[in-house]
Structure formats: structure tokens, C-alpha cells
Amino acid sequence: MRAVKERYPALTGVRAFGAIAVFFDHFPPWPHWHAIINVMAFFYVLSGFLIVRLYHEQARLTRAWLSKYFINRFARIYPVYFLLLTVAVCLQRDFSLPVLASNYTLTHALFYRSTLIIQPSWSLTVEECFYALAPLFMILARRAGFAAAFTLAAALLGAALAISTLDIRLLHTPAFVLSTTFFGHFAEFFAGVYLALYVTRLERTGSLAA
């Protein structure tokens, strides 16, 4: 896998604004105050756009490519999360092994009423699910078009909703699936995916300067 350019300077300010909004939404300066925009939806759209812009042309279902891709994704999120989570665990010191395992593996937000040691980290589970599925979506979009990839994601939502009727902690209820998991938020990611594919198509036809 050739080196990819990870940074988009034009988006740095936008991402910083989003990060500030997330911070104040979880730690409001006044009681009962919350951001009036859906900040997480913004980040999901941005993630969909950036991942496809970076990797769409080179995505392969090979061990070599996938290993480098997942190492890159791991390095972007997990080290800082691991550090913050470890600090939180050391400060509170009262978590069971299952709680620690689910939080350290970022699977906690797939299970109903999981203990979230860092409350906003549920969104990282959503991001990680997208990262895991993105190579398949990108290859399908490249070979069969955006609609085929979107249809697969919609089918995964249907499967998640079916599991949610089994009355188990995994996915648990349709409301939980739609509000807290990647499957319920896939359309937001795919808004970014579509935009990235559209920009790529414009570049190919010469309608947009590279």
C-alpha cells in the first residue's frame, strides 16, 4: 500500500470546531445547555468522506493491504484513547474485568447498558465499526457503484434490527440500534462517502482541479 496523505489542511478548522462543540456538549458551561447542532452526525459524515478520499482507489482485500490499513486506523484513535481510559481506570479503580475488557476493546457501545468508563467513547465504537467495514464498502463501490455499497449497509442495518428483537444485550432494541450503533448511523457516514466519490469523479473528468 503506497503512502497516503493523512491531512486535509482545509478541514482542520472545521474539525477543531466540531471537537470543541463535542466537548461543550458533554461538559456544558451552564446547566441543561447542549449544542444545538448534531455534532456527531457531522463527524460521521467527515469520517466517511476522509476514509474514502484516502483509501478508495487502493483498497484491497489482501492481508498486506488490510494489515497496513488497520494499523493506520488503530494508530489514529487508540493510543490516545488507551491513555485516557487508563487514567480514568486508575482514578476510579472499581471496575470489573468484563467492564474493562469491553471498554479497552471498544466493543462496549454494542451492548445495552454497558458501563462506559469514558461516557462519550460510545461514538468511538461507531467509528471503529465503520473502519472495519469500510474496505468492503469501498471495493463494492468501486466495482458495482455507490448504490451497491449503500444497499449492503442498509442490509446490515436490517440484520442488526433483526438481532435487536431477540431480547439480548447485544444490540438489544431497535431504538438502541438506531441511536447508538454504526448501523443506525450508516446513512451519515454514507453522505460523506457519496461526497468523496463525487469529488473523485470530478477530478477524473477534469471538472475539478486535483
Average pLDDT over residues 152-169: 94
Alpha carbons within 13 angstroms on the beta-carbon side of residue 95 total 22
pLDDT tens for each residue of 181-203? 999 999 999 999 999 999 988 88
CB burial of 119-155 (b: ≥16 within 10 Å; e: otherwise) equals: eebbbbbbbbbbbebbbebbebbbeeebeebbebbee
pLDDT tens for each residue of 58-88? 899 999 999 999 999 999 889 999 999 999 8
State the pLDDT at residue 94: 74
Average pLDDT over residues 167-180: 90
> By percentage, how much of the chain surpasses pLDDT 90?
55
State the pLDDT at residue 36: 46
Q: How confident is the model at residue 210 (pLDDT cuts 50, 70, 90)?
A: very low
Sign of the alpha-carbon dihedral angle for 14, 19, 25, 28: negative
Per the DSSP assignment, residues forming a β-bridge with 111 are 170
pLDDT tens for each residue of 100-139? 999 999 999 999 888 888 888 888 999 999 999 999 999 9
Looking at the chain, list the stretches that DSSP marks H as alpha helix, in order from N- to C-terminal side.
9-26, 39-55, 63-92, 97-104, 122-144, 146-163, 174-180, 182-205
| Helical pair 182-205 and 146-163, crossing angle rounded to 10 deg | 180
Mean pLDDT score of the chain:
84
Average pLDDT over residues 93-98: 83
State the pLDDT at residue 92: 83
Average pLDDT over residues 34-63: 83
Q: State the Cα–Cα distance between residues 65 and 60, nearest whole angstrom.
A: 6
